[in-house]
């Protein structure tokens, strides 16, 4: 048996047992290689834990974000300027996740599906609960005018539409490092459906110079519009072109037109070619019910054109069966009894 070497730092720290044998040799192994076993244990723990921390938890966080829903309860577009609006959106996020993390504030983009974003807005920090209210309330600059025009056409023309709402944020859950997630939601919204069902009532013809309004308007009335969406739209001073069978008969101004969700009663003042209208009533439309085509012309706020609304209303023509009878009778130009 070789004489054991007494030197060496390991032997000094862990001197070999008094007699050689299996037991002591194992003990010896542990004494010598304890750090190695620790290392293996640490590696095993890390191999199990790291994927949980770096793969499973982020995956779960992203999955929970994807599985959550977002619904817009109200959307207000006010204070329109040439290149911006004030945007207020109240929405409800719902999640069935058992985690209730905090989402960092982030910048969200709005876009029609497959199109460039038309604006970006700040989403405040949000604590995710089963049901969470998220409010956006700020002035925004239009990020892409063509995309915003396209969006407003869809808002006015479609019964319903989808809008993408997306951004990158971080999820904070106590005890964990912030986890990066993509927040992407497809919002299905009701549109204004071409202002279908619009009606014009309470017509009053202003005859004579003393009755006419300063801008020359010779007829006033109420425009009734049903807005089936959750959107409020401040369209500024809106003018519309009026025609019958393709022949222009005048135009209408809807001052400070703000469309709110539900029923709207907007005042209208119009400048009509009264002679043309009177001719139509005495020849073709003897019941004084005129099929008037109304086409948006301009949308102006504080003296500036709002091109993103103008393009949308220009593309929208509404046919209204205008009952001019009562207004004409009131000035003695029509007798409903005689016309029968």
Q: Least distance in Å: CB of 200 to ligand NAG?
A: 7
Nearest to 113 by CA among 147, 143, 67: 147
Under rule CB under 6 A, residue 236 binds ligand NAG = yes
Q: Least distance in Å: CB of 152 to ligand NAG?
A: 12
Rounded to 5 degrees, φ, ψ at 124 are -70, 165
Binding residue count for ligand NAG, defined by CB under 6 A: 26
Tell which positions 97-136 bind ligand NAG, by CB under 6 A: 112
Chain length of the chain: 340
Q: Least distance in Å: CB of 169 to ligand NAG?
A: 26
Nearest to 61 by CA among 169, 186, 155, 164: 169
Binding test (CB under 6 A) with ligand NAG, winner from 3, 208, 338, 340: 338
Under rule CB under 6 A, residue 79 binds ligand NAG = no
Nearer to ligand NAG, 180 or 335 (CB): 335
Q: Least distance in Å: CB of 312 to ligand NAG?
A: 12
CA distance 77 to 54: 41
Helix and strand counts by DSSP (H, E) for the chain: 8, 19
Under rule CB under 6 A, residue 95 binds ligand NAG = no
Under rule CB under 6 A, residue 77 binds ligand NAG = no
Nearest to 308 by CA among 151, 195, 189: 151
Under rule CB under 6 A, residue 237 binds ligand NAG = yes
User: Which region, left, alpha or beta, applies to residue 325 given φ > 0 means left and ψ of -120 to 50 means alpha?
Assistant: alpha
Q: Which long-range contacts (CB under 8 A, 24 or more apart) does 17-22 make?
A: none
Under rule CB under 6 A, residue 325 binds ligand NAG = no
Tell which positions 159-218 bind ligand NAG, by CB under 6 A: 161-162, 199, 201-202
Sites of contact with ligand NAG (CB under 6 A): 112, 154, 158, 161-162, 199, 201-202, 222, 224, 236-237, 239, 241, 251, 255-256, 265, 297-298, 301-302, 323, 335, 337-338
């Amino acid at each position: 048996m070789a004489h054991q070497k007494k030197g060496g730092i390991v032997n000094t720290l862990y001197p070999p047992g008094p007699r050689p044998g299996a037991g002591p040799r194992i003990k010896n192994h542990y004494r010598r290689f304890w750090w190695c076993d620790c290392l293996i244990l640490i590696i095993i723990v890390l191999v199990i834990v790291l994927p949980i921390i770096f793969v499973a938890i982020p995956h779960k966080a992203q999955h929970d974000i994807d599985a959550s829903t977002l619904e817009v309860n109200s959307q207000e577009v006010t204070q329109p300027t040439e290149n911006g609006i004030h945007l207020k959106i109240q929405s409800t996020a719902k999640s069935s996740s058992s985690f209730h993390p905090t989402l960092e504030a982030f910048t969200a983009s709005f876009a029609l599906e497959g199109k460039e974003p038309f604006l970006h807005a700040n989403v405040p920090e949000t604590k995710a609960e089963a049901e969470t209210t998220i409010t956006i309330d700020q002035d925004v600059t239009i990020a892409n005018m063509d995309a915003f025009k396209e969006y407003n056409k869809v808002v006015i023309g479609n019964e319903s539409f989808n809008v993408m709402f997306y951004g990158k944020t971080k999820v904070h859950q106590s005890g964990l490092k912030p986890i990066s997630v993509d927040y992407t939601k497809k919002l299905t919204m009701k549109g204004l459906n071409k202002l279908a069902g619009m009606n014009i009532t309470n017509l009053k013809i202003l005859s004579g110079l003393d009755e006419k309004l300063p801008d020359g308007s010779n007829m006033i009335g109420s425009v009734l519009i049903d807005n089936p969406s959750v959107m409020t739209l401040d369209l500024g001073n809106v003018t519309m072109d009026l025609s019958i069978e393709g022949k222009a008969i005048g135009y209408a101004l809807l001052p400070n037109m703000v469309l709110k969700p539900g029923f709207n009663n907007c005042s209208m003042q119009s400048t009509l070619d009264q002679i043309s209208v009177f001719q139509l009533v005495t020849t073709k439309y003897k019941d004084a019910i005129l099929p008037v085509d109304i086409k948006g012309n301009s949308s102006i706020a504080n003296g500036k054109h709002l091109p993103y609304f103008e393009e949308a209303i220009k593309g929208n023509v509404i046919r209204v069966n205008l009952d001019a009878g009562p207004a004409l009778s009131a000035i003695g130009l029509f007798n409903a009894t005689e016309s029968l």
